[in-house]
Amino acid sequence: MGLSWTELLVVFGVLLLFFGAKRIPEVARALGKASREFKNARDGVVNEVRRTIDDDAEKTEDGGSGRRKSSSDAEDSK
């Protein structure tokens, strides 16, 4: 779903009308910065989920139940 050249020209024309020629670089920089921050945050969440999944998989491979012992479990084993 890409934009054609005519659609890009219309978008640029609307931006020019709304913000003026002097503010377009500022707006573009702000959009780029926001996009970068969003991408970094998304990557952080994805990495955390993958790390959690990998940790759970390692616990399962080691024969662990993947859960911590509660105080009632500790009393039962005595």
Kindly list the domain boundaries of the chain, sorted by start residue: 21-53
**Tokens describing residue 52:** 């959690």
Nearest CA-CA partner of 15 in 30, 1, 34: 30
CA dist., res. 32 & res. 47, Å (int):
22
Per-residue model confidence (pLDDT) at position 65:
54
CA dist., res. 68 & res. 44, Å (int):
26
For 36-78, the pLDDT digits (tens) are 999 999 999 999 999 999 988 888 877 655 455 555 555 555 4
Per-residue model confidence (pLDDT) at position 39:
97
